[in-house]
Structures are given as structure tokens and as C-alpha cells.
Amino acid sequence: MENDVPDQPDSQIATSGPLTGFRVVEFAGIGPGPFACMMLADMGAEVITLDRPGANKNQKSATGRGRKIIELDLKDTAPRAQTLDLLEQADALIEGFRPGVMERLGLGPDVVLSRNPRLVYGRMTGWGQEGPLAQAAGHDINYIAVTGALAAIGPAERPVPPLNLVGDFGGGALYLVVGVLAALLEARKSGQGQVVDAAMCDGAASLMTMFFDFTAAGRWSGERGRNFLDGGAHFYGVYQCACGHFISIGSIEPQFYALLRQHAGLSDQAFDAQLDREAWPSLKLKLEEVFKTKTRDEWCGIMEGTDICFAPVLNLSEAPLHPHMVARKTFVERHGAIQPAPAPRFSRTPSTIRESETADLASLIRAWRR
């Protein structure tokens, strides 16, 4: 990768971030739980990951960064007792097992909160802690399917999974982080912890709030490809260029649409009917032909930086090298690989990426008690 992507300082730098001083115990899992703990660690929290013996997790992975990792068998009595001792000194717990697993291990909320009443107990699941599907297996695609989100995404022919951004990370990890932080704030006032039940289906449904609003107001069709934000409108979508690459256009507001017409040479009076839904299919065809007359780079030279609401569609190799991404140091190089830098940004207590390392449970308990 080009040297334009900055190196990220590692754990040699003192811990920073607004969560410095907070202690989080993570029970190792996959997907949204580790991503949430990555964010907490980036923001300065001391995150202790309890993993099974021999797990051999990649400590250099992006989502696993910033942890102290302890391997132990929670089915054994002694490690379980030590875990409770550790949790007595923690501010938050994060677990992503199916409902009932932590209770069967003797580490459910009733047991843990009786030892540490101020603890925030964060639970990450797909279906939630209760309900008819609570014990069923599932993945992101299933959780967003029942919320209306999946049905709204993709071309008219069929829904398209939006990677696992909407369920796992948007509706799951981010809502878990918000919930845990809100509960930590409340615990500082009341001295009492609580359980945060973060279900990906709940979070994905919440993310759809605006579209339920649009539907109630009669501004959203249940048919994909018929709406102004789902690719139905000619002024909001993705177009292929002469080179085979793509660009994105989001010229919703009339003043931005006027600029689109000006820079793309759309003098045809048919484009006057910006909000005529019946005209959208034919106008999309016209725009497709226009954008195929130039390469992506040529369109960038014409439109990028204007108020058209334009951007090139970049792949994972290209994105870190975009001038705006480089200027903001949005991506960093770590262990020879490119990964996103911490977000959001703080003016006084900046987040940092720290190295993960193995730790000894007994030593950590002694350190936390001091």
C-alpha cells in the first residue's frame, strides 16, 4: 500500500480517549460484540477479553485490537470464581451468547449484579433475550429480514443483503455501545447498574424509523426501485462510466439537481420533471447514456468538490488512497495491513489504537483491587 496511508501509533503511547479509567470485561464472541469492544477500547476503556483455552485469536486483527486477553475454561469452578472476582471491579460486561448460556455458567445478571451492583451488563444477541425466536440460530440477513429493512434494499427483482452492516454492526454493535454508555452515565448518578438487552432485530428496526415515517406519510412505496432513496430516482443512484467504474449521484435538493444538469449537460427539457416518479425510469436511461460518455476520473474532474452531491465509487483498495481519506487519516496501516482508524474523533481526549496482549487473570484481579 502507498505511503499516503499513515502508520498508527501503537501501545507505546499512553492510553487516551474519553473512556480512560473504565474497565470492561468481554466474553469472547464473533461479529458485533468484538466490534463494540473495539470501539470501547479505541476510546480508552481497559478491555479484558476472556477466551477459551487454545482459541488462538489473531491479536493483530482490527476488531480484536486494544485488548488484554486471558484464556480460561469457564466450565471449571476455579476460573469461574476468579471471573466473578474480576467482575467485582469492572464497570461493564459484554457478552454475545444465546440467552441462558451465561446463567448456566453461573455468571448471569442476578449473580454478577449481586457481587457488583453498579455493573452495566451488556447483552448482544440477534433476536433478543426473550420472544418466540430468542433461542433460534440466525445471522444478520435474518435479523434485518423481519424488520422491513431487507425488503427495502436492492433492485425490483429481489432484496439484496447490504453486507452485514445493518444488523450486526449498525443495529447490533452501535446500539450496544450507545446502550452501555448510557447505562454507565446513569450508574455514575445512581450507583446502580442494569442489563442492556441489545438485539440486532431491535436495532435494525430502529434504523428504519425514517422509512416508517415516510410510509405513514404516503411518501414511500413498498416496491423496491420506486423511491427516491432506493435507486428509483434518476438523481439518486449509481452509474457506470466509460471505463467500467462507477460514480454516485445524490442530487436531491433542487439547487443540487440544477448543478447536476449544468455539469452533466442535461439540457433536455425532460429533466425538468425531477419529482415525476413516472418519468424516473426514462430519465435514468438517459443519464446512463450520459455518464458512459466519460471515464470515472473525467467525471471526478468535472463534479468532485461541487454541491452536486457526487463521489466516485471506490473499492477497498482504492478508498484509503482517496485524497479526502488521506487528509483526514481515515485509514491507517498497522502490522502491514490497512484498517479504518478510530471514530468518532475527540478534540481533547483522542482515541488511539492499542496493541492486544495476553494477561494473567490473578495478576489482573490484584491490580484492579489496588
Q: Which residues are catalytic?
A: 139, 168
**What size, in residues, is the chain?**
370
Closest CA to 307 of 256, 252, 235: 256
Whole-angstrom Cα Rg for the chain:
24
181 — phi, psi (to 5°)?
A: -65, -40
DSSP E strands, 82-233: 92-95, 120-125, 194-199
Burial degree of 369 (CB within 10 A; 0-12, 13-18, 19+) = exposed
Spatial distance between the Cα atoms of 142 and 201, rounded to a whole number of angstroms: 9
Within 13 Å, how many C-alpha atoms sit on residue 153's CB side?
16
With H, G, I as helix, E, B as strand and everything else as coil, classify residue 113: helix
Spatial distance between the Cα atoms of 68 and 26, rounded to a whole number of angstroms: 10
Burial degree of 75 (CB within 10 A; 0-12, 13-18, 19+) = exposed
- 268, 326 Cβ separation under 8 angstroms: no
- What is the DSSP code string of 50-100? EE-TT----TTSSTTTTEEEEE--TTSHHHHHHHHHHHTT-SEEEE-SPTT
Spatial distance between the Cα atoms of 341 and 191, rounded to a whole number of angstroms: 34
For residue 129, what is the DSSP state? S
Strands 194-199 and 120-125, sheet pairing: parallel
For 58-64, the CB contacts below 8 A with 24+ separation are 59/355, 59/356, 59/357, 60/334, 60/335, 60/337, 60/356, 62/38, 62/334, 62/337, 62/339, 62/340, 63/34, 63/35, 63/38, 64/34, 64/38, 64/356
Within 13 Å, how many C-alpha atoms sit on residue 47's CB side?
30
